Chain A
């Protein structure tokens, strides 16, 4: 479903993604792990047509995202690291907008909106403006929205960041239900190793733009001789802390938050 070979992305003199190769099968749940700044989000952006790679080959559902961006976009749903809902609109209106963007026929859109909002426990709140939602509700709505156009692949970029264990647990149950019911391939990134170990059938670990290990959680533990995925992760990537500087977009987001609270 996803096939990546020798993918490269450079920003000036920095090689953010350095000749990585991996493949994800249809219906698989695949975790993409790595420390901050390792190249996870850059990879996701290239897979989802938001960023042009500088080298290598890339295939999403057999199509090249560089040449057939619109067809590829129709194939996947994505939940970004940061929220991407319109807070002034209601949950239902956010779904409506997405459905129209993704050319879902009206009848199907209405039926599927109901089905998904019910699955993600948001049906009762469908008429409420999203700005009044809790963090967990917003995340669930984002996932429901990403699934609205029946994508073949669901990209989840750190979807559980900042959520409590109950919410995380419930969310993964729901994602897994969709994965099984519709054979949706799931490509996720996360910092919670226990989560990755429990959810993912296979995973890849990326550091400094290179994939340093891939396989099932079991294989990685055996390879490093460790008892948990967390230990395996630290054994592979080292325990040095990676500091990221906030980009201008992050700074502005902070500013916007201050403003919106006035």
Chain B
């Protein structure tokens, strides 16, 4: 178990040392908040949907956790390149623990990033629906982080190539974000788009956060949590299997 802890600690140490990266990764969420939050605000209000900033903030928080956890899960790819992966693979530690330690580390980092964006949201003018249940948002951030760290690790285990990285970003991670309802309401969508949003796991993460933070829901918070937890569990199993097959 101490191997899990030290790998978790490693991710945190690496994160804390990459200050430039921390600041850089806040740029995109800020842009979404400011450009979309204020830019689309008037149209959204005219449509009778209230404040767009309120609406989009949970989506931007979910986005941050998504990107951060997938990327740090895929950090496996860099460990392979820089050789550190070999050090973990000759250790007398079951691989599943190695993968777990990395994943918990990635998830923790993603949640910290998410919390930083929460602060940014408050600065931009976002207000909570209820202070009492707000801590529950952390549970959803953890669920999202865990699910996508597992996905990132699974992908990182099979990818051997940095070129594949762009492919994953453009054809998996960005669609997961854009089709999740992070930026638009899920009701009254064309049938095809509605179907796609329903199979996108992030939809449930965004919906869960939105329920807790601003009090509007689409799927219901119980279903949100159940879907995230079960897909997360499946990806954990798949990820462990793929990770155990890595050869150096």
Contact = CB atoms under 8 A, between A and B. Distances in A.
Interface in B73-97: 78-94
B247 A103 contact: no
Nearest to A96: B6
Contact of B3 (A93, A100, A249): A100
Contacts of A101: 3, 6, 87-88, 91-93
Interface string B99-135: 0000000000000000000000000000000000000
Nearest to A249: B160
Contacts of B18: 88
A167 interface: no
Contacts of B88: 101
A83 B82 contact: yes
A102 interface: yes
A93 B16 CA distance: 14
Contacts, number: 89
Contact of A256 (B7, B13, B82): B82
Most buried by A among B18, B78, B89, B91: B91
Given A78-B90, A89-B13, A248-B161, A256 B248 contact: no
A234 interface: no
A256 B84 CA distance: 13
B2 interface: yes
A179 interface: no
A73 B91 contact: yes
A224 interface: no
Contacts of A102: 91-92
A169 B150 CA distance: 46
A80 B86 CA distance: 8
B90 A73 contact: yes
B245 to A, nearest CB: 12
Interface in A29-69: 48-51, 69
B83 A80 contact: yes
A97 interface: yes
A87 B84 CA distance: 9
Chain A's interface size range is 35 or more
B92 A71 contact: yes
A120 B85 CA distance: 24
Contacts of B82: 83, 86-87, 253, 256
B7 to A, nearest CB: 8
A137 interface: no
Contact of B83 (A50, A51, A85, A93): A85
A98 interface: yes
Contacts of A83: 82-83
Given A93-B13, A252-B160, A73 B92 contact: yes
B75 to A, nearest CB: 11
B10 interface: yes
A89 B10 CA distance: 8
B83 A248 contact: no
B83 A84 contact: yes
A233 to B, nearest CB: 28
B14 interface: yes
B162 interface: yes
A88 to B, nearest CB: 5
B10 A86 contact: yes
B46 interface: no
A253 B85 CA distance: 13
A237 interface: no
A71 B7 CA distance: 21
Nearest to B17: A88
Contacts of A88: 13-14, 17-18
A183 interface: no
A115 interface: no
Given A51-B247, A101-B91, A101-B93, A85 B84 contact: yes
A84 B79 CA distance: 9
Closest 8 CB pairs of A and B: A101-B91, A256-B81, A84-B83, A70-B92, A73-B92, A84-B87, A84-B86, A100-B6
22 contacts: A48-B90, A49-B90, A50-B89, A50-B90, A50-B247, A69-B92, A70-B93, A83-B83, A84-B83, A86-B10, A86-B82, A86-B84, A88-B13, A88-B14, A93-B13, A97-B7, A97-B10, A101-B88, A101-B92, A101-B93, A102-B91, A248-B160
Interface of B: 2-3, 5-7, 10, 13-14, 17-18, 78-94, 160-162, 247-248
Given A88-B18, A96-B6, 5 more contacts: A50-B248, A69-B92, A70-B94, A100-B3, A255-B81
